[in-house]
A = this chain, B = another copy of it.
Amino acid sequence: MKVGFIGLGIMGKPMAKNLLNAGHELVVLDRSDASAELTELGASSASSAAEMAAQVELVITMVPDSPQVREVALGADGLIEGAREGLVYVDMSSISPITSREVAAALAAKGVKMLDAPVSGGEPKAIDGTLAVMVGGDEQTLAKVEGVLDVMAGSVTYVGPIGAGNIAKLANQVVVALNIAAVAEAFTLAQKAGVDPAMVLAAIRGGLAGSAVLDAKGPMMLDGNITPGFRINLHIKDLNNALATSHEVGVPLPLTAAVREMMTALAVDGYDTSDHSALVRHYEKLANTQVRRDETIS
Across the interface, do B255 and A189 meet the contact criterion of CB distance under 8 Å?
no
Q: Which residues in window 177-219 of A have CB below 8 A to B? A: 177-179, 181-183, 185-190, 192-197, 199-200, 202-204, 206-214, 216
Q: Does A93 contact B (CB under 8 A)?
A: no
Instruction: Please tell me which one of the listed residues B121, B199, B211 contacts residue A179 in the complex, with CB atoms under 8 A apart.
Output: B211
Among A40-48, A140-148, A168-176, which stretch is in contact with chain B? A168-176
Across the interface, do A193 and B252 meet the contact criterion of CB distance under 8 Å?
no
Among A14-22, A54-62, A79-87, A281-289, which stretch is in contact with chain B? A281-289
Q: Which residues on B sit within 8 Å (CB–CB) of A155?
A: 206
Q: Which residues on B sit within 8 Å (CB–CB) of A287?
A: 250-252
Task: Given A171-B190, A176-B209, answer yes or no on A195-B160 (Cβ-Cβ < 8 Å).
Answer: yes
Q: Does A232 contact B (CB under 8 A)?
A: no
Q: Does A23 contact B (CB under 8 A)?
A: no
**What distance in Å separates the Cβ of A161 from its nearest Cβ neighbour in chain B?**
7
Q: Which residues on B sit within 8 Å (CB–CB) of A175?
A: 182-183, 185-186, 204, 209, 211, 214
Q: Which residue of B lies closest to A170 (CB)?
A: B189
A225–B184 Cα distance when bound, in Å, is 30
Between A183, A189, A256, the greatest number of chain B beta carbons within 10 A of the residue's beta carbon is seen for: A189
Q: Which residues on B sit within 8 Å (CB–CB) of A132?
A: 203, 206-207
Q: Does A268 contact B (CB under 8 A)?
A: no
A251-279 toward B: CB 8 Å interface, digit per residue (1/0)?
Answer: 11111101100000000000000000000
- Using a Cβ–Cβ cut-off of 8 Å, how many residues does chain A contribute to the interface with B? 73
A170–B204 Cα distance when bound, in Å, is 10
A72-99 toward B: CB 8 Å interface, digit per residue (1/0)?
Answer: 0000000000000000000000000100
Across the interface, do B208 and A159 meet the contact criterion of CB distance under 8 Å?
no
Across the interface, do A209 and B245 meet the contact criterion of CB distance under 8 Å?
no
Q: Does A134 contact B (CB under 8 A)?
A: yes
A121–B210 Cα distance when bound, in Å, is 12
Q: Which residues on B sit within 8 Å (CB–CB) of A178?
A: 178-179, 181-182, 185, 255
A183–B177 Cα distance when bound, in Å, is 11
A196–B159 Cα distance when bound, in Å, is 8
A170–B194 Cα distance when bound, in Å, is 13
A159–B134 Cα distance when bound, in Å, is 41
Can you report 8 A-B residue pairs in the complex whose CB atoms are below 8 A from each other? A136-B195, A160-B195, A171-B195, A175-B183, A182-B255, A211-B211, A211-B214, A251-B289
- Known interface pairs A160-B199, A175-B209; 17 further A-B residue pairs with C-beta atoms within 8 A, sorted by A's residue number: A132-B203, A134-B204, A160-B196, A164-B194, A164-B195, A170-B189, A171-B186, A174-B189, A175-B185, A178-B182, A182-B182, A193-B245, A193-B246, A207-B212, A208-B212, A210-B212, A250-B287
